[in-house]
Amino acid sequence: MTKDQPFRIVTYFPETTASWVVSDDEFSFTSPGPSLTGPNFFVAEEQLSMAGWSLQDLTGFFANQSIQRPSTYIASGLINTGTIPPTGATGGISASDVVIISDVPLTIDTSIQSAGFMAHDSDYMSIKFAQGVLVTQNLNAPIQMTVTDSWSYGSGEPTASEMLFCYRIFHIQKTDKLEGDSITFPEVRYVALGIAAEEPDYVYINRLRRSYELKQL
């Protein structure tokens, strides 16, 4: 029997900035950036290969999963031509920033932010981990945004999938519409710790079958 193998999984989503474009009446991300999915709703995707597990017929058991970030969310603005230093964005920007980790690909549309719940077709078991924050401008410090709500969910169930699908979802709202106002989302890092181990054949085969069925949805 293969000896249990401790693992550490790490992936990053880079810092990215979205600026308000008056002529388009929407935010636009710096390139390369996440794809536009709906009005001021964007999704970035990364994939983590777990082929090393599948080649050895191992299952990954998660012990701990977390989202880490090194800095704050920034809402800045440029007045007229931008010849003066940046100031806090006008009009009040708020945004949600959600990271979802799944072992099956998710449908990328505005309903992805509820993946794993009844409002979405995705099975709860396939969502291994998700974490989100809502940030809003602070009137006392309008450049640095304040986290006003946070949430997390996910099954944390083991996976025998050869791939993890990682999504970062941005939904931005703004009251006023001044050209050049922007929000910078900090880099975030997903870290998972656990053990890769063998399961009884019937359990492992059933897990693979379930994963395959979900990928066909």
Q: Answer yes or no: is 4 within a domain.
A: no
CATH number of the CATH domain containing 50:
2.60.120
Whether cis (ω within 30° of 0) applies to the bond prior to 85 is no
Whole-angstrom distance, CA of residue 34 vs CA of residue 41:
9
pLDDT of res. 81:
44
Please return the burial class of 70, using the count of CB atoms within 10 Å of its CB with bins 0-12, 13-18 and 19+. exposed
Does any domain span residue 213?
no
Reported as a single tens digit per residue, the pLDDT across 81-99 is 444 555 777 767 889 999 9
- pLDDT one-digit tens code per residue, 176-210: 767 778 899 999 999 999 998 887 765 666 666 66
Closest C-alpha among 83, 18, 19, 7 to residue 48: 7
Asked if 136 and 91 count as a contact pair (C-beta separation under 8 A), the reply is no
Chain centre to alpha carbon of residue 172: 14
Residues 6 or more apart whose Cβ sits within 8 Å of residue 35: 42, 43, 44, 108
134 domain-assigned:
yes
Domain count within the chain: 1
Q: Would 200 be classed as within a structural domain?
A: no
pLDDT score of 28 more than 70 = yes
Domain assignment present for residue 74? The answer is: yes
Residue 209 located in a structural domain: no
- For every residue of 105-170, DSSP letters joined together read PPP-SGGGGGTTSTTSSS-GGGEEEEEEEEEEEETTEEEEEEEEEEEEE-----B--SEEEEEEEE
HSE toward the beta carbon, residue 30, CA cutoff 13 A: 9
Say whether pLDDT at 80 is over 50. Answer: no
Residue 83 confidence (pLDDT)? 47
State which residues form the domain around 181: 17-193
pTM across the whole model? 0.86
Residue 11 forms part of a structural domain: no
Question: Looking at the domain assignment, is residue 3 inside a domain?
Answer: no
